[in-house]
Amino acid sequence: MHHLILKLILFATALAPHSILWGLGSEKPAEFALKDRVVLIQPIVIQSEDKSKRLPWVLPEQELDQEFNSKGIDIHFVEAVFSSNDAATTGKIAPKKIIKQLSSNRKIRRADIAPHLIFVQALKNKKALKIVRSDEGAFIFVSLSAKDSSVTESVSKGLNTLLKTKKDQPSSFTHPRVRCLNGEAAKKDFLDEAHEIFFSQLMQREMTCFTKEKLSHPDDLPASRRETLERFEKGVLDFTEDETQAITWMASEVDKAIGETYPLFTQQPWRFIKSAKHLCGGFAYTRGYSIILSEGMINHVVSNFKNNKDKPNPGLANLFAHEKIHVLQRIHYRKFVRAGLAMGFLRGTLPSIPWVTQIKVSNPDALDLSWVIQAKDPKTNKLAIFWPRPTINEKAGEVPVMGRDFKDIAVRLVLEKEKVATYKAVLNDDGTPSYVLLDELKDHIDKHPIRVGVDHPNEVVAYDFGLLLMMDHLKMNLPPHFKKESLNTFREWCKKEMHSTELK
């Protein structure tokens, strides 16, 4: 969640009002050519359970781009999902049954947005290609062992078949660079939990906080979750034409600013959903492939577009870049795990702590809770392991206020199993977990350019990328208290990892 937008706007417009806006004091970003439409593809690789029998696979992105670029289409793969199943990969199970198994194992990731390219070692009757359409979307099965067709040829044929429409109308699988969703499409994206579970794991305190309203039956958790889901659904709003135009402009300007430096960023299309201003305190956040902007946020973008069309506000540009990074973290998961490790976080298996669960604040952009940090314990002045968690302050009222009533804590942990990095909580005499305020872990906080979002690597990376946009691409001079030198590690990670999708 990005909750510094107003501060960033004030910072960006007040710091140096005659030098930091595009077109004033710095060169406007060079035009960066992207195709008008993009096709997202979700690869799934079904492998043999015996590693020695697995066939090599590779995503033919360059070959497909060469073919489809002439049609005004970019091909963009998201990170591959893997599954081990001998029966499924050797042709013993029909494709429709394979889809059902993948779905039950939460391996299907919105095949209605990104066709799923499923690699198997063989298909029935030694076929090279099989296309399946269902209510969930489109699936292209490709055999890695077919003799009569190469993998590239099979993928090309499958994509051409999917994208073929009557009267040259755009296929539903070709997405514009920027799309503002309305109606049922927006609600579907907003409420979907294909990539990760959010709504289904919310607790009472955070539900009242997110919706700014008391629960009708707070003692009934399933009923409270249903009520919260309904409140969120009612809060999904339609964009006006002015809003769509302004958001499209800002997103396009950010892509131009990044240019060819980080293709993984610019190739990913933008999807936006408009939310009522009271939900989640007006914070910006993401769900699946989409960025959620509140009415208040959108008003700032529209104002910038109408009053300073040649001068996009760097604070808003930062916001857009920050949120798009959260989308990329979700669909290029392994790549951004490496980013978290590079930023000094550690991975581990963590305990369930009911006391924390009851007061937690679930960040929809940081739902992977297997991250811990090493820092000096202010009590002993020795290095220790901590689990950072945003929580709701115990002094908050019946309806906690977003941001104001949050308290970032760091639960003390001890290593339980070293080989698999399994931790358990240090408990007080009354059974509650022992913790410190996250702000007390000075050596951890001092590693990062700013003090916000340091509870989770997803937020650290998103804030850092926004700062790189401002420094490296908008040529802004950041204030001295921003630790610019600490961005060097992240900049090097971006140069290595933000170039393309892993193709094998």
Q: How many CB atoms lie within 10 A of CB 483?
A: 15
Output the six-digit token pair for 386. Answer: 């901590």
Instruction: State pLDDT tens for residues 222-240.
Output: 999 999 999 999 999 999 9
| 84 within some domain | yes
Count Cα atoms within 13 angstroms, Cβ side, for 51: 0
How high is the pLDDT of residue 263? 92
Alpha-carbon distances, residue 316 vs 97, 167, 320, 479 (angstroms): 46, 39, 6, 18
d(CA 189, CA 185): 6
Out of 301, 332, 363, pick the residue that ends a domain: 332
Claim to verify: residue 214 and residue 236 sit in the same structural domain: yes
Tokens in use for 432?
A: 């509650």
481 assigned to some structural domain: no
Pair (182, 328) in one structural domain: yes
Residues 241 and 146 in one domain: no
> What are the DSSP calls for 313-382, one per residue?
-HHHHHHHHHHHHHHHHHHSHHHHHHHHHHTT-EE-B----HHHHHHB---TT-----EEEEEE-TTTSS
> What's the pLDDT tens digit per position in 444-480?
999 888 888 999 999 999 999 999 999 999 888 877 7
| Phi, psi (rounded to 5 degrees) for 26 | -145, 155
13 plus 81 within the same structural domain:
no
pLDDT tens, position by position, 172-214? 899 999 999 999 999 999 999 999 999 999 999 999 999 999 9
Residue 218 has pLDDT above 80, yes or no: yes
Residue 338 lies in a domain: no
Is 468 contained in some domain?
Answer: no
Residues 302 and 241 in one domain: yes
Residue 286 included in any domain: yes
Q: Are residues 139 and 202 in the same domain?
A: no
Q: Are residues 238 and 160 in the same domain?
A: no
Q: Where residue 503 falls among pLDDT bands split at 50, 70, 90? A: low
Q: Same domain for 219 and 325?
A: yes
Q: Are residues 69 and 94 in the same domain?
A: yes
pLDDT score of 310: 83
Count of domains for the chain: 3
Check whether 3 has a pLDDT greater than 60: no
Does 463 map to a domain?
Answer: no
Same domain, 215 and 294: yes
| 151 and 222 part of one domain | no
Q: Are residues 59 and 204 in the same domain?
A: no
Domain boundary among 155, 174, 193: 174
How many angstroms separate the most distant Cα atoms in the chain? Answer: 73
Sign of CA dihedral 165, 167, 171, 177: positive
Q: Is there a domain that residue 482 lies in?
A: no
Out of 396, 430, 446, a domain closes at 446
- Residue 128 · residue 156 · CB < 8 Å: no
Per-residue buried b or exposed e for 329-343, using 16+ beta carbons within 10 Å of the residue's own CB: bbbbeebbbebbebb
Q: How distant is the alpha carbon of residue 62 from its chain centre?
A: 25
Task: Give the model confidence (pLDDT) of 57-75 as tens digits.
Answer: 988 888 998 899 888 899 9
Q: How many CB atoms lie within 10 A of CB 124?
A: 14
- What pLDDT digit, counting tens, does each position of 316-336 carry? 999 999 999 999 999 999 999
Q: Determine, yes or no, domain membership for 166.
A: yes
Bridge partners (DSSP) of residue 386 are: 373, 412
Q: Structural domain of residue 255, as residue ranges? A: 5-33+178-332
- Decide which of 18 and 43 is more confident: 43
